[in-house]
Amino acid sequence: MASAAEQLAANINFGAIAKADELKKRIWFTLGALIIYRLGTYIPLPGINPEALAQSFQNASGGVLGLFNMFSGGAVERMAIFALNIMPYISASIIIQLLTSVLPSLEALKKEGEAGRKILNQYTRYLTVLLAVFQSWGIAVGLQSSGNIVDAPGPFFLVSTVITLTGGTMFLMWLGEQITSRGIGNGTSLIIFAGIVANLPTAIAGTLELGRQGAISTGLIIGVIVMAVAIIYFVVFMERAQRRLLINYPKRQVGNRMYEGQTSFLPLKLNTSGVIPPIFASSLLLLPATIASFQTGADGTGFIATLTAYLGHGRPAYMFLYAALIVFFAFFYTAIVFNPTETADNLKKQGGFIPGIRPGERTADFIDQVLTRITVLGAIYLVIICLIPELLVSYAALPFYFGGTSLLIVVSVTMDTVAQVHGHLLAHQYEGLVKKAKLKGSRRR
C-alpha cells in the first residue's frame, strides 16, 4: 500500500507542470472556478436572520442536515445562495440513467453517440431545474415555519428563495461542466471535494478543542487519526487494484512479413464505479430529508419528524438504506460504464482471445462473470469504508468530515485529478518529442 501511495505522489512533476503551458491554464482555470464557488457559499439569502439561523442549525446539525452541510461546504449553515449545492444535478443524473435502462426511447438515444448524449444531458438539466425548485420551495417553507429565521415571511420571500437557490444550483452545474471541459478533473466531483476540504481545518480544530475540554478522550482522537490514515492507504490500494485478463493475439501476416503473436492484458478495476455510489446514495437519502430537517424543529411530531428520526446518522434504517444504495449503484454504474459484449466484439475484430475461452459470446459471458465477482468485492469495500466510520461519527459525536464517505471522496477525487495531470504531462512530453523529431528532419534536409 505504501508503494502505491509513493507511486501516486511521484506522478506529480512540478518542474514538468511549469513547462506545460496548456496544463497550467487548465489548473489556473480550475482553481479560479473553485474560488468562485467558495465565495458563493458565503453570500446569504436575502431576508434571513443570521443569529436565529445559526441557533436553529445548531439544534439540527446532528442529523441529515449536518451531512448536507458538509457536502455544500458550509453553505447550509450560512443558508447561502449555493445551499443546495450540486446535489439536485446528481439526483437528476441518477434518475435519467435509471430511466435509460428502462425506457426504450432513452436507451435508443444513448446508442446514438454524441448527438444522443447531448439530448440526454439536456433532459438532465431540465430535471435538475424541477428538483431544485422542489427542494428550494421546501427549504423556503421550512425556514418560514422555523421561528424567527425569516425577517419578512410571505410570498415574496418564498419566490425569491426559490429563484435564488435554483439559480445557484444551475450556476454550479454550469461551472462543473466548464471545469470538466476546460480545467482538470471532473467538475462535479471537484465541487463536492472543495466543499469538504474547505471546512476540514475547522472540523479538526473543533475536535481538538473538544479534546482539550475533556468532551472527547485523547485516546479516541488518536484512534480517529490512525483510522483516517488507514482508510486513506486502504482506499489508495483498493482504487488501484485490478484483475488483469490475459489476452493473446495470434501470428499474422501483413504483405510478405510475418508478425509474431503478442500478449496483452485487459485490466478490470476492482472498483469500476469509483466514488459515484456513495455520492449517489447520499444524494438520494438527502433528497426527501431536506425539508424534514427544518420542519422537525417547528413541530417535532408527525410524519416529517418520524422520517427525520429514522434517517438520522447511526440509525438502523439509514445504515441499511445507505449500504443497499451503495451496493446497487456499484453494480448499476459498472454496468453503464463497462459493456462486456462490446469489449468481446472489439477483441474478436482485433483477433484477440482469452486463452481457453471462445471468442464472441463466450468471451462476453466470461468477462461479465469476472466483472460481477470483482464488483461484489468492490461494493463490499465501499460499504465498509463508508459505514464503519459513520458509526464512529454517530456514536462518538465527531464531525461528519471524519466519515468514510468524505475521506473516500477526497482520496478518490485527488487520485483522479492527479491521473489527469499526469496524462496531460505525458501528452505534452510526446508533443515535445514530435517537435524535436520534425526539427531534426528539417535540419537534415
Claim to verify: residue 149 and residue 88 sit in the same structural domain: yes
Give the number of domains in the chain.
2
Question: Is the residue at 110 inside a domain?
Answer: yes
**pLDDT for position 434:** 62
Claim to verify: residue 207 and residue 225 sit in the same structural domain: no
pLDDT classification of 242: cutoffs 50, 70, 90: confident
Percent of the chain with pLDDT over 70: 75
Q: What grid cell was written down for 298?
A: 417547528
Claim to verify: residue 61 and residue 147 sit in the same structural domain: yes
Claim to verify: residue 279 and residue 350 sit in the same structural domain: yes
Question: Is the residue at 266 inside a domain?
Answer: yes
**246 bridge partner residues:** 265
**pLDDT for position 90:** 84
Q: Assess contact for 271 and 239: CB atoms under 8 A.
A: yes
Mind listing the pLDDT tens digit for each residue in 308-350?
667 666 677 778 888 899 999 899 888 877 888 888 888 888 7
pLDDT classification of 24: cutoffs 50, 70, 90: confident
Claim to verify: residue 35 and residue 107 sit in the same structural domain: yes
**pLDDT for position 31:** 92
Is pLDDT above 50 for 5? no
Claim to verify: residue 142 and residue 245 sit in the same structural domain: no
- For residue 30, the enclosing domain spans 23-216
Question: Is the residue at 352 inside a domain?
Answer: yes
Of 54-63, 163-172, 409-418, which one has max mean pLDDT?
163-172
Cell 461519527 belongs to which residue? 393
Mind listing the pLDDT tens digit for each residue in 263-296?
888 888 888 888 788 877 876 776 555 555 555 4
Is pLDDT above 90 for 130? yes
Angstrom distance (rounded) from CA 92 to CA 436: 48
pLDDT classification of 129: cutoffs 50, 70, 90: very high
Is pLDDT above 70 for 13? no
Claim to verify: residue 294 and residue 381 sit in the same structural domain: yes
| 51-80 mean pLDDT | 68
Cell 435564488 belongs to which residue? 164
Claim to verify: residue 175 and residue 298 sit in the same structural domain: no
Q: Which of 191, 216, 241 is the last residue of a domain?
A: 216
Question: Is the residue at 77 inside a domain?
Answer: yes
Question: Is the residue at 431 inside a domain?
Answer: no
**pLDDT for position 178:** 92
Indicate the average pLDDT of the chain: 78
Claim to verify: residue 186 and residue 307 sit in the same structural domain: no
**pLDDT for position 440:** 67
pLDDT classification of 118: cutoffs 50, 70, 90: confident
Claim to verify: residue 75 and residue 164 sit in the same structural domain: yes
Q: Which of 216, 242, 270 is the last residue of a domain?
A: 216
Is pLDDT above 90 for 171? yes
Claim to verify: residue 65 and residue 208 sit in the same structural domain: yes
Claim to verify: residue 305 and residue 323 sit in the same structural domain: yes
| 97-106 mean pLDDT | 81
Q: Which of 380, 402, 424 is the last residue of a domain?
A: 402
**pLDDT for position 408:** 80
Mind listing the pLDDT tens digit for each residue in 397-440?
565 555 567 778 888 888 888 888 877 777 766 666 666 666 66
The CA angle 225-66-417, to the nearest 5 degrees, is 60
Question: Is the residue at 395 inside a domain?
Answer: yes
Is pLDDT above 60 for 165? yes
CATH for 305:
1.10.3370.10
Is pLDDT above 50 for 140? yes
Question: Is the residue at 390 inside a domain?
Answer: yes
Residue (of 287, 281, 268) closest to 387 by Cα position: 281
pLDDT higher at 82 or 7:
82
Question: Is the residue at 116 inside a domain?
Answer: yes
Is pLDDT above 80 for 182? yes
Total-model pTM: 0.75
| 127-150 mean pLDDT | 84
